[in-house]
Amino acid sequence: MDKTHISEMEKEIQIEYNRIDNKWLELHFKTSVGLFIFSFFIELALGYIMCNSEYLNTSVTMFIIKYIFIPFTVNFICILVNFIVIHSKTISQVHKVYIISLLFVVICFVLFTVHVAFSALYFIFALPIMLTIIYADYRLTVITSALSMVGMVTSELFITWDLDKVNIFEDSIRLVDFLISLFILLAFSTVSMVVIRFEREKNAASIQKELERQQLQKKLQMDELTGIFNRRALHDTIKDMDTETADNNCIFVMLDIDNFKTLNDSFGHIFGDECLQQMGRILKKNCTDAIPFRYGGDEFCILFPNASVEDTVKTCEKISKDLQSVSFENMENIKLTASIGISGYYKHMDSARLIVNADQALYAAKTIKNTIHIYTEADKS
C-alpha cells in the first residue's frame, strides 16, 4: 500500500480520536458546570445555617457578599467563558482543551479559597488534573497540576478570605494535613503522567493495528494485475448499497475487451496480461468520480455514484477511445476495443437485478462489438 493511502488512513483515525476528545471536552465542560451548580447550592445551604446561628462573626450582608455573591460571580464568569470557548468556531480544539482545563482549576481555586476551613477541600484540585488524562497530553497535565498546586499553596499561605482560617504555622495538625495533601497531589500528578504514557502507547498500538487491518482489507479487495478493485470489493460495495437507507441513484457499467480470448491464445498470456493492465490503467485514469472493478478475466465493471446516464456515456466513450489508442511494440496492427453495457440503479431496485441488467446490456453490445449499449426493457430475456 502506498504512503499516501496510509497517510489518509492515519488522518481518518486521528479524526476519530478528535471526535472522542470532543465528546470528553463536552463532559469536561458539563462537569465544571455541575460543580458550579452543586457548590452554589451548598453555599446557599451553609449561608442559611450560618446566618441563623450564633457562630456568624460578621454581618449577614457581608457574609452573603463574601461567601455567596463573589464566588458565584467569579465562577459564573468562568463558566460563561467556557461556554463561549466550547461553542466557538474560530478557536482550535487544542486551545479549547487548555482553556476549559485551566478555568476548571480557577473554579476549584475559588471554592478552596472561600471554604479553606474545610480540610477535605485540599483534594478538590485532584479533579481538574484527573480530567486531563483522557487527552493524553503531557504538557496539559503538567500545567494543570502545577497550577493546581500553586493555587493551593497561594490560597493557604497568602490569602485570608475566611476570618476563621487557622494559619498552618500556628496549628501543627493543619500543617501536617497541608503537607500530606500537597504530597498526595504531587503523587496523583505523577500517577496521571504514568497513565498518560500507557494511554499513548495503547493509542499508538491501536493505530498500528488499525492500519494493518485496513492494509490487509485493502489488499484483499485489490486486483494485483490491474491495480483496481476486484470482484470481492464489488460484492462488498453492492452489499453496502442494499443496506443503505439513502435514496441515492447510480449507474452501473460492465465492459470487456473484444476478442480477448483470441488475442490471449494467439500472442500468449504475457501479452494478455499487458492488455488487462492497460485496461486497468485507463479505468483508473478516467474513473475519478467512479469506482472501477475487475469482475473476472477480461470483464470489468464501473460504479458511477449519483451520475447521469449522459455523463456516464461520455466517460465510457473516453475509455473506449483511450483503449483504441493503446499501441504495442512490434504489433502496430493490433488495436484493442471494448464492448460496454450500461444499466441504472434506482430506488427500491435489487442490486442483483442491476448486475443482470448491465450484463444483458453488455451482451447486446457484444453482438456488434466496440459499441456502448444502454439497458432498456426491450433487453429483458
Q: Measured between alpha carbons, how far is 296 from 234 in angstroms, rounded to an integer?
A: 11
Q: Measured between alpha carbons, how far is 281 from 196 in angstroms, rounded to an integer?
A: 47
pLDDT, average across residues 315-344: 90
pLDDT for 334-369, tens place per residue? 889 999 999 987 666 777 888 899 999 999 999 999
Place of cell 460492465: 254
Strands lying side by side in the sheet with 372-374: 291-296, 299-305, 250-257, 338-345, 372-374
What is the phi/psi pair of residue 62, to 5°? -65, -40
Average pLDDT, the chain: 88
Residue 234 in this model has a pLDDT that exceeds 70: yes
Q: Measured between alpha carbons, how far is 167 from 172 in angstroms, rounded to an integer?
A: 9
Question: What are the start-end ranges of the H helices in the chain?
Answer: 3-51, 60-64, 70-86, 93-114, 126-130, 138-158, 172-220, 231-243, 260-267, 269-286, 309-324, 351-366
Q: What was the pLDDT predicted at 9? A: 65
Q: Measured between alpha carbons, how far is 292 from 319 in angstroms, rounded to an integer?
A: 12
Place of cell 483503449: 323
Q: How far is CA 282 from the centre of its chain?
A: 33
The three three-digit cell numbers of residue 14, written as one number? 486521528
pLDDT for 246-266, tens place per residue? 556 789 999 999 999 999 898
**Among residues 340, 331, 350, which one has the least CA distance to residue 373?**
340
Q: Measured between alpha carbons, how far is 341 from 324 in angstroms, rounded to an integer?
A: 18
pLDDT for 138-164, tens place per residue? 999 999 999 999 999 999 999 988 777
Given a contact cutoff of 8 angstroms between Cβ atoms, the answer to whether 91 and 82 are in contact is no
Residue 342 belongs to what H/E stretch? Answer: strand 338-345
Q: Which residue has the higher pLDDT, 348 or 202?
A: 202
Q: Measured between alpha carbons, how far is 334 from 21 in angstroms, rounded to an integer?
A: 59
Given a contact cutoff of 8 angstroms between Cβ atoms, the answer to whether 108 and 148 are in contact is yes
Provide the whole-model pTM. Answer: 0.66
Given a contact cutoff of 8 angstroms between Cβ atoms, the answer to whether 218 and 211 are in contact is no
Residue 290 CB neighbour total at 10 angstroms = 19
Percent of the chain with pLDDT over 90: 57
- Ordered structural domains, the chain, with CATH: 3-212 (no CATH), 231-379 (3.30.70.270)
Residue 1 in this model has a pLDDT that exceeds 50: no
Q: Measured between alpha carbons, how far is 289 from 251 in angstroms, rounded to an integer?
A: 12
